[in-house]
């Protein structure tokens, strides 16, 4: 009886550890570009979006690609603004 209780406790402890570490698995990466590089990439994405809009792809494919590029461009703008705006000082 004692070993089955220990087994159940071990299973619950293992499940708890797995549940706690599952939320820590996400990592954040920072990629640095110069201003001219980020502008060039942004413009290339806009050009790709124009090419896709003028292509013979199915409408559903065009919408997917366009939304993906829009999301990436929005993320670029958000990251650049976050890096350019001065951070509020932390009060001690």
Quote the tokens at residue 66. Answer: 């366009």
Q: Per-domain residue ranges for the chain?
A: 2-84
Q: What is the mean pLDDT of residues 59-88?
A: 85
pLDDT in tens, 15-37: 777 776 666 656 676 777 888 88
Q: What is the mean pLDDT of residues 31-46?
A: 86
Average pLDDT value for the chain:
80
Q: Distance between CA atoms of 63 and 57, rounded to whole angstroms?
A: 10
Greatest extent of the chain over all pairs of C-alpha atoms, in Å: 72
């Amino acid at each position: 009886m004692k070993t089955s209780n220990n087994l159940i406790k071990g299973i619950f402890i293992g499940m708890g550890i797995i549940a706690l570490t599952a939320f820590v698995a996400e990592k954040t990466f920072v990629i640095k570009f110069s201003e001219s590089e980020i502008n060039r990439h942004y413009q290339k994405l806009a050009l790709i979006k124009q090419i896709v809009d003028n292509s013979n792809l199915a409408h559903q494919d065009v919408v997917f690609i366009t939304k993906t590029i829009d999301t990436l461009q929005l993320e670029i703008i958000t990251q650049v603004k976050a890096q350019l705006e001065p951070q509020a000082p932390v009060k001690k």
